Chains A and B, each alone.
Chain A
């Protein structure tokens, strides 16, 4: 059964576009800083610092935008995580991705206006948006203004923890982005989910 549902309001699409651009910029400049090399610079260090700082501040603003627009459009209901049966639902979805979709099975959790994300999406989006990103943003502000970071935590410098958290979260967000983009190709057609984020209409098989 194929159908079209208007799932992504303009405000969410605009946020998604800005968020994607900023995250890509931050990953590129961040990797350039983390793996800086005198002989093989990915990007000029001071330029990477400036762009990373500006993009980080803008990401904070878009995150606030995300939170507000999510509440305003009631999109936030799709991020509620029901713990009961969560593991089973995620496993079912994983089995579909690794076996079912190759054996002609239909999606166990078809996309509807009430159920915008499948359980695996819902779980990873909650992790990305409500755990990884806030920690990434807060640790980033800590590194931007080292004076605000607690001086000593468990015998180690606060800056050390901020750096560690920032790098780990950045890595997780990068990994999320790669898998997220790939999973978007598993739609009615290869590119249809990318189109959805432009016109707002989700098309199911």
Chain B
């Protein structure tokens, strides 16, 4: 009886497995992400059929059962995010061993050193203009690196499976701000993730920024890194996150004509237009305004001329009154 059952069970379980694979494979709609090579998507689907889900199904050859297990969140990749990210054209096996194509994965693969960002981005002429070496050096001096050493890698903020460049490519400043701040908040507003690295009590960003007037407006109008990094001209986006005590707290550093926002948030918009016309015309026309930084050159000239005329007129009038009185 049991042998009959096992004979029936095996093809039945296999068919379930095949169906589940087909269902998983069908999750990426035809024609979705057209700028990614189809062969890449097909190859990656072998991995993503399990790694894009919180639960995966496989046939246990030892027990001859189809089993359903939870996928560790760190090993999950969201295809929707991956195929719009910077690395969207990569096959999984470009960075991970081809041995992973075998299932179950060999335990020894865990010992394999993971690729680091600098393996590809460092010392390559194609990336020379981004100066990854300097970014790496700045990061090495940052409070994140100093406090957590090896535990804190580039990937903590720039998940290679989802990170996409915004500042250089996105027109909408608000989108850049929201995206970049979400990276910081993924730890600083999430106790579970924050305490993967430290036992410190997660500071509440709302209360720690109580001193900031119009806090909500600031949070949606500037990125955390504007005040929390040391800005240099060597890299496009500063990576030296400074200790809390060294964060920018002087309003005038942003709220002035030489606003640091010109070298950070508005750098890519402003650099070709930074002239006597100033911040207003060069960078943020219409989107928002920064008291003290938004100055309209023409309005300034008109106001100075008008004031000079007023004072000049008064001076002449006073003079005439004095002369006539004599």
Interface residues of A (CB under 8 A from B): 33-38, 41, 45-46, 49-50, 97-98, 102, 146-147, 155-157, 159-160, 163-164, 167-168, 171, 175, 178-179, 182
Contacts of B317 in A (CB 8 A): 97-98, 182
Q: A102-B324, A179-B314 are in contact. Are A46 and B288 (CB under 8 A)?
A: no
Tell me the number of A-to-B contacts counted with CB atoms below 8 Å: 75
B299, A167: Cβ atoms closer than 8 Å? yes
Contact B288 A168 (CB under 8 A): no
**Residues in B277-296 with C-beta less than 8 Å from chain A:** 285-289, 291-292, 294-296
| Closest chain A residue, CB of each to CB of B212 | A46
Asked if B252 is an interface residue, CB under 8 A from chain A, the answer is yes
**CB atoms of B250 and A160 under 8 A apart:** no
Known: A37-B256, A102-B324, A156-B285. A45 touches B217 (CB 8 A): no
Please state if B314 and A182 are interface contacts (CB–CB under 8 Å): yes
| B310 on interface, CB distance cutoff 8 Å | yes
Q: Which residue of B lies closest to A30 (CB)?
A: B291
Residues of A within 8 A of B307 (CB): 175, 178
Residues from chain A with Cβ under 8 Å of B252 in the complex: 36-38, 41, 45
Inside 8 A of B299's CB, which chain A residues have their CB?
Answer: 164, 167-168
Residue B306 lies at the interface, judged by CB distance under 8 Å to chain A: yes
Cβ-defined contact, A179 with B251, below 8 A? no
- Decide if B311 is an interface residue (CB 8 Å cutoff): yes
Minimum Cβ distance to chain A for residue B163 (Å): 29
Contact B286 A34 (CB under 8 A): no
Cα(A155)–Cα(B295), bound, Å: 19
- A46 to B320 CA separation, bound complex (whole angstroms): 44
Which residues of B come within 8 Å of A, CB atoms? 213-214, 216-217, 250-253, 255-258, 285-289, 291-292, 294-296, 299, 303, 306-307, 310-311, 314, 317, 320-321, 324
User: Residues of B contacting A36 with CB < 8 Å?
Assistant: 251-252, 255-256, 291-292
Residues of B with C-beta under 8 A to A182: 314, 317
Shortest A97–chain B CB gap in Å is: 8
Contact A178:B291 (CB < 8 A) given known A49-B251, A156-B286: no
Other than A156-B285, A157-B286, A160-B285, give 15 A-B pairs with Cβ distance below 8 A: A33-B292, A34-B291, A36-B256, A37-B257, A38-B256, A49-B251, A102-B320, A156-B286, A160-B286, A160-B289, A171-B306, A178-B311, A179-B310, A179-B314, A182-B314
Verify B288–A171 contact, CB threshold 8 A: no
Q: Which 5 A-B pairs have the closest CB atoms?
A: A36-B292, A156-B286, A45-B251, A163-B289, A36-B256
A97: chain B residues within 8 A (beta carbon): 317
* B314 and A157 form a contact (CB under 8 A): no
Given A37-B252, A102-B324, the answer on whether A163 and B294 have CB atoms closer than 8 Å is yes
How distant is the Cα of A139 from the Cα of B296 in the complex, in angstroms?
18
- Which chain A residue shows the least CB distance to B290? A163
CA distance A37 to B258 in the complex (A): 8
How long is the Cα–Cα vector from A129 to B291 in the complex, in angstroms? Answer: 25
Q: How far is the CA of A153 from the CA of B109 in the complex (A)?
A: 58
Which chain A residues border B321 with CB–CB below 8 Å?
102
Given A102-B324, A159-B289, A179-B314, the answer on whether A171 and B257 have CB atoms closer than 8 Å is no
A104 to chain B, nearest CB (A): 9
On whether A45 and B286 interact (CB within 8 A), knowing A38-B250, A168-B299, A178-B310, the answer reads no
Which residues of chain A are within 8 angstroms of B296 by Cβ–Cβ distance?
164
Interface centre among B213, B255, B291, B307 (most CB of A within 10 A): B291
Residue of B nearest to A49 (CB): B213
Give 20 pairs: A residue, B residue, CB < 8 Å, sorted on A.
Answer: A34-B292, A35-B292, A36-B256, A37-B252, A37-B256, A38-B253, A45-B252, A45-B292, A49-B251, A50-B213, A102-B321, A156-B285, A157-B287, A157-B288, A160-B285, A160-B286, A164-B296, A178-B307, A178-B314, A179-B310
